[in-house]
A and B are shown apart, each in its own frame.
Chain A
Amino acid sequence: MSFLQIDKVCKSFGSVNVLRDISLDVEEGGFLVLVGPSGCGKSTLLNTIAGLENLTTGEIRIDGNVIDDLPPAERNIAMVFQSYALYPNMNVGQNIAFGLEMRGMPKDERDIKVAEVAKTLQIEHLLDRKPGQLSGGQRQRVAMGRALVRNPQLFLFDEPLSNLDAKLRVDMRTEIKRMHQALGTTIVYVTHDQIEAMTLGTRIAVLKDGIVQQYGTPAEIYNDPANLFVADFMGSPAMNLIPATVRGNTVEMARVGEEPLVLDFKQLPDDVATRDGKEVIVGIRPEAITDADSRAAIRAGQQVTASCKIDVVEPAGADIYAITSLGGKEVVTRLHQDWFGQVNQHAELVFNLEKVVFFDRESGIRLR
């Protein structure tokens, strides 16, 4: 049985439905990431798990026990907030010990616990300082220490890295992942950053308008998106979504001043094959369109090579992103760093057909 079960949870503020029929299961020791654009309900869902907000209908269970009616403090859950929410009038040690103090733990026991946590997080030298005297990264650690010290059965993180600068964010991301591996405590983590979601999660739930768009492992979400929204939201640069017409076992993409580009599939998925002559959306990740030299192209099974006009070249160090135009859309391709093509000239591009996915043009639903 799953450790954390979110069962048909709905939440509405007046007539506004913030969460609609959300069901998610996480195994013990799992790392669930809730990701989505702002206003998608991810923070609300986290608050209902924490008990800071009541749910309208549905049930949340931890380890088989329904926790809906328990106050936050009795759920044995710890939370790290976006602003860290360190109590400004207490020093670091008092901040970490506050939860223990509220539970009536004697002072000497608290001191031992605080010392242990401070050692794991390497903040022993900061214990006497006030939160105002700490840097962003140190505050982040203290906030984590406050959550860790209670030894909870579930950790909640509410966009904990969004206040840090880019480099520190990557460091702390690794740190959180390392902490999760070491402790094995179940984590629910909210973010709007799809890279954080991919790197941290064992399971990702993509939310939009209070509805779970897709729930799966990072690989499933990335390679097998359930609809246009997930395809577009996850991945950077985003997946190319190109309007194309189905002709037998091929799809045609219009080009300006040139013949259409034809991708010849041996066998189109059933849902696509039945739409002969109609328009669909073809989804191809940038790394599935490469130059012939790149390893991705060499490994690809079913592939089509085509000559395309390069409009823009963006060197990004490890790779070169070249932009061409198909079906009236800018199409990003990811090329080998030694590629030597020129802007406004044609280049041979390899399309990896095994990585292509199709969507319905109107509904955005995946065609399989």
Chain B
Amino acid sequence: MSRSTQPSFRTGKILRAALYSVLILFAVYYLLPLFVMLVNSVKTLDEIRGGNMMSLPEAFTIEPWLVAWSKAQIGVEPTGLSPYFINSIMMVVPAVAISTALGAMNGYVLTKWRFPGDKIIFGLMLFACFIPFQIVLIPMARVLGMIGIAGTTSGLVLVHVVYGLGFTTLFFRNYYAAFPDELIKAAKMDGAGFWRTFTRILLPSSGPIIVVTVIWQFTNIWNDFLFGASFADFDSMPMTVALNNLVSSSTGVKEYNVHFAGAVLAALPTLIVYVVSGRYFVRGLMAGAVKG
């Protein structure tokens, strides 16, 4: 017995070691750019020019971070990234909140208050997930101009809400499809109407899918460059566009340490969102996928 289990036990260990080596290799591969960014963002420019990209800083400085945040030249103004960071926040918070709320409503109606043609409506909403953004740039610019919010943060919020709706509806619809209909019937018998059934019964049970939707929308909207570059004015420009202007400015010296610091600053919010709620993300995605 023990003789026969010994070899398989040993091969198991070898396999496991191999598995971990591969995993560590990939982890290093993925973390390397982040390492380079962090390390070089705290070096002086001279050290970067003269030395190895991979080496740790000899003279530690947070000056590049401060410059990137509040002094760097963006376009013509030496404002740093901070005003654009605020712009992004002003855009991302309402856009995520509105698109998530509307997606939840849509999902509720499409699964629990079925009406003739609901599948066609849902199908059309799914279309939004598959249309390449470039196609709609010109019509969208026309629409924004017509309602008079072109070049404003509100305009960007509208664009992101419209394009997020397909995904948020899909997420909530699949989640609520698995929600027992008998609970809705019970709420009806208990005297709860359309809204109270939604706010008292469904929403309190929607934690995981809300987290998934918020993460999804937050990352997409925060990281969006195309809509920001196309529809924003100079004073409503989001972080991503400002970062581009900082890095690709053609005048003066290329301050790599400032660029690295700015890039990390731009990536920080999404990183924090993932770290805080990442485990809900996986859990929620599974819940939607398996039962939907």
Chain B residue contacts of A103, Cβ below 8 A: 191
User: Could you tell me the distance in whole angstroms from the C-beta of A42 to the nearest C-beta in chain B?
Assistant: 16
Chain B residue contacts of A73, Cβ below 8 A: 188-192
Q: Does B180 contact A (CB under 8 A)?
A: yes
Is the Cβ of A99 less than 8 Å from the Cβ of B189? yes
Q: Which of chain A's residues has its CB closest to B183's CB?
A: A85
Q: With A79-B186, A81-B185 in contact, do A89 and B204 touch (Cβ < 8 Å)?
A: yes
Main secondary structure of the interface of B (DSSP, over half): helix
User: Could you tell me the distance in whole angstroms from the C-beta of A80 to the nearest C-beta in chain B?
Assistant: 9
B185-243 with Cβ < 8 A to chain A: 185-192, 196, 200-201, 204-205
Is the Cβ of A81 less than 8 Å from the Cβ of B191? no
Chain A residue contacts of B191, Cβ below 8 A: 73, 99, 102-103
Query: Can you list, as one digit per residue, whether each of A20-63 has a CB less than 8 Å from chain B (1) or not (0)?
Result: 00000000000000000000000000010011100000000000
User: Could you tell me the distance in whole angstroms from the C-beta of B273 to the nearest C-beta in chain A?
Assistant: 24
Chain A residue contacts of B204, Cβ below 8 A: 89
Is the Cβ of A99 less than 8 Å from the Cβ of B185? no
Q: Which of chain B's residues has its CB closest to A47's CB?
A: B185
Q: Does A3 contact B (CB under 8 A)?
A: no
How many B residues, CB 8 Å from partner? 16
Chain A residue contacts of B201, Cβ below 8 A: 87, 89
Q: Does B77 contact A (CB under 8 A)?
A: no
Q: Does B46 contact A (CB under 8 A)?
A: no
Chain A residue contacts of B190, Cβ below 8 A: 73, 98-99, 102, 146
Is the Cβ of B189 less than 8 Å from the Cβ of A79? yes
User: Could you tell me the distance in whole angstroms from the C-beta of A303 to the nearest C-beta in chain B?
Assistant: 51
A69-126 with Cβ < 8 A to chain B: 71-73, 77-79, 81-83, 85, 87-89, 98-99, 102-103
CA distance A81 to B182 in the complex (A): 7
A81 in complex: contacting residue of B186, B196, B200, CB < 8 Å: B186
Number of A-B contacts (CB under 8 A): 55
CA distance A118 to B269 in the complex (A): 49
Is the Cβ of A72 less than 8 Å from the Cβ of B205? no
User: Could you tell me the distance in whole angstroms from the C-beta of A222 to the nearest C-beta in chain B?
Assistant: 32
Is the Cβ of A98 less than 8 Å from the Cβ of B192? yes
Q: Which of chain B's residues has its CB closest to A104's CB?
A: B191
CA distance A98 to B204 in the complex (A): 14
CA distance A144 to B245 in the complex (A): 66
Q: Which of chain A's residues has its CB closest to B190's CB?
A: A99
CA distance A57 to B180 in the complex (A): 29
Chain A residue contacts of B188, Cβ below 8 A: 51-52, 71-73
B183, B186, B189, B204 interface centre (most CB from chain A within 10 Å):
B189
Is the Cβ of B182 less than 8 Å from the Cβ of A85? yes
B87-116 with Cβ < 8 A to chain A: none
Query: Can you list, as one digit per residue, whether each of A134-151 has a CB less than 8 Å from chain B (1) or not (0)?
Result: 000000000000100000
Chain A residue contacts of B187, Cβ below 8 A: 87, 98
Is the Cβ of A87 less than 8 Å from the Cβ of B183? yes
B180 in complex: contacting residue of A72, A79, A85, CB < 8 Å: A85
Is the Cβ of B192 less than 8 Å from the Cβ of A72? no
Is the Cβ of A102 less than 8 Å from the Cβ of B186? no
B180, B185, B190, B200 interface centre (most CB from chain A within 10 Å):
B190
Is the Cβ of A85 less than 8 Å from the Cβ of B205? no
User: Could you tell me the distance in whole angstroms from the C-beta of B213 to the nearest C-beta in chain A?
Assistant: 18
User: Could you tell me the distance in whole angstroms from the C-beta of B102 to the nearest C-beta in chain A?
Assistant: 22
B189 in complex: contacting residue of A50, A82, A83, A88, CB < 8 Å: A50
User: Could you tell me the distance in whole angstroms from the C-beta of B192 to the nearest C-beta in chain A?
Assistant: 5
CA distance A219 to B93 in the complex (A): 68
B46-75 with Cβ < 8 A to chain A: none
A73, A82, A103, A146 interface centre (most CB from chain B within 10 Å):
A73
Chain B residue contacts of A85, Cβ below 8 A: 180, 182-183, 185-186
CA distance A81 to B190 in the complex (A): 13
Chain A residue contacts of B205, Cβ below 8 A: 88-89
Chain B residue contacts of A78, Cβ below 8 A: 189
Q: Which of chain B's residues has its CB closest to A73's CB?
A: B191
Q: With A83-B180, A87-B201, A89-B201 in contact, do A52 and B185 touch (Cβ < 8 Å)?
A: yes
CA distance A71 to B188 in the complex (A): 9
Chain A residue contacts of B183, Cβ below 8 A: 85, 87-88
CA distance A73 to B196 in the complex (A): 13
Is the Cβ of B196 less than 8 Å from the Cβ of A83? no
The 4 closest A-B CB pairs, nearest first, are A73-B191, A102-B191, A99-B190, A89-B204
The 7 sampled A-B contact pairs (Cβ below 8 Å) are A72-B188, A85-B180, A87-B187, A87-B200, A87-B201, A102-B190, A102-B196
9 further interface pairs, Cβ-Cβ under 8 Å (given A98-B187, A99-B191): A71-B188, A73-B192, A79-B185, A81-B186, A85-B180, A87-B183, A87-B186, A89-B201, A98-B190
